[in-house]
Amino acid sequence: MGKRTVFFLSDRTGITVEMLGNSLLSQFDGIDFHRVHIPFLDSEEKLAEAIARIEKAGEIERHPPLVFSTLVESGLRDQLEHSPCHLIDLFEHFIPDLEQELGRPSGRAVGRTHGIGNLAEYERRVDSMHYSLSHDDGAKLTNLGKAEVILIGVSRSGKTPTCLYLSLHYGLFAANYPLIPEDLEQHRLPEALRPHKERLFGLTLQPERLHQIRQARRGGSDYAALDTCRREIRQAESLFAREGIPMINSSSLSIEEIATEILRRLKLKGHR
């Protein structure tokens, strides 16, 4: 069984069902999962179209497709239950048990996880995203005092995507600063960062991995040369150690894992 089609169905964005479903699928090696995402299934007509796609996939593969669902409306869930698939209803699996334990029925409301919900928290996430974008790659050194975390590291060490994840997912005001060769040769923190030392966090990675990333961007250049990568990583890690800046090697970590470790090490709390 080398290939299986997997459908992720939701009546809203589908972020929750994708996250939970992919977490479960990650435990199964050697299977080529063809993922199909269908969000905003909020009517019988839309669901009927989705079920037609599920039926067609099953006919082609001669296996019932896997279907992860977070549909809330009972009529739509009943319709899906009678389709030719292997259904994993994520809400139905957990909510009855929670209702029993908490002694009250659930609201069964659509879109609560990733809706606006708390307007103040939503606006904070928007503001933090704008902040991270304007303070990306050292582009803006004013107002760094507002930053809850400032990521530093050599070019292409993962600072920008991590900052954006921290701001979008946790509502944190995150800035980042690239340590360029001139900074590294001085063997000390850039003056603009010194007043904010307690909020600095260093990102590093294996020189070979950095070389691979830079080759894809500017192949054959001195910037991408393995010797350059080794020298810059060595100088950056030495600077982190000398200044007492916490750091993490991101070579084999996902953005989610990097962000979680930063929160833990700096004792930061997200705003969600």
Tell me: the pLDDT tens digits for 141-178?
888 999 999 999 999 999 999 999 999 889 999 999 99
User: Does residue 215 lie within any of the structural domains?
Assistant: yes
In whole angstroms, give the CA distance from residue 38 to residue 44: 14
Q: Are 125 and 256 in a shared domain?
A: yes
Q: Are 176 and 224 in a shared domain?
A: yes
User: Does residue 112 lie within any of the structural domains?
Assistant: no
Task: Find which of 96-105, 136-145, 204-213, 261-270 is predicted with most confidence, using mean pLDDT.
Answer: 204-213
More confident residue, 178 or 105: 178
Q: Are 172 and 85 in a shared domain?
A: no
pLDDT at 37 over 50: yes
Q: Are 94 and 124 in a shared domain?
A: no
Residue 77 is part of which domain span? 3-102
User: Does residue 110 lie within any of the structural domains?
Assistant: no
In whole angstroms, give the CA distance from residue 230 to residue 129: 32
pLDDT at residue 116, rounded to an integer: 47
pLDDT at residue 114, rounded to an integer: 46
Q: Are 215 and 252 in a shared domain?
A: yes
Taking phi over 0 as left and psi of -120 to 50 as alpha, with beta for the rest, 180 belongs to beta
Contact 65, 6 (CB under 8 A): yes
Q: What confidence tier does 86 reach under pLDDT thresholds 50, 70, 90?
A: very high
**Cα torsion at 241, 257, 162, 152 (round to 10°)?**
0
Q: Are 127 and 34 in a shared domain?
A: no
| Percent of the chain whose pLDDT exceeds 70 | 94
Q: What confidence tier does 118 reach under pLDDT thresholds 50, 70, 90?
A: low
Q: Are 126 and 52 in a shared domain?
A: no
Q: What confidence tier does 100 reach under pLDDT thresholds 50, 70, 90?
A: confident
pLDDT at residue 235, rounded to an integer: 97
Q: Are 176 and 207 in a shared domain?
A: yes
Q: Are 165 and 77 in a shared domain?
A: no
User: Does residue 88 lie within any of the structural domains?
Assistant: yes
Cα–Cα nearest to 207, from 236, 245, 176, 183:
236
* Lowest pLDDT segment from 42-46, 83-87, 112-116, 188-192: 112-116
The domain boundary residue, chosen from 67, 102, 137: 102
pLDDT at 205 over 50: yes
pLDDT at residue 107, rounded to an integer: 62
* Lowest pLDDT segment from 14-23, 39-48, 213-222, 235-244: 14-23
Q: Are 21 and 84 in a shared domain?
A: yes
User: Does residue 38 lie within any of the structural domains?
Assistant: yes
Q: Are 73 and 147 in a shared domain?
A: no
CATH (domain of 228): 3.40.50
pLDDT at residue 109, rounded to an integer: 57
User: Does residue 109 lie within any of the structural domains?
Assistant: no
The domain boundary residue, chosen from 55, 75, 102: 102
Cβ atoms within 10 Å of 126's Cβ, excluding its own: 12
Report how many domains make up the chain. Answer: 2
Q: Are 70 and 162 in a shared domain?
A: no
User: Does residue 75 lie within any of the structural domains?
Assistant: yes
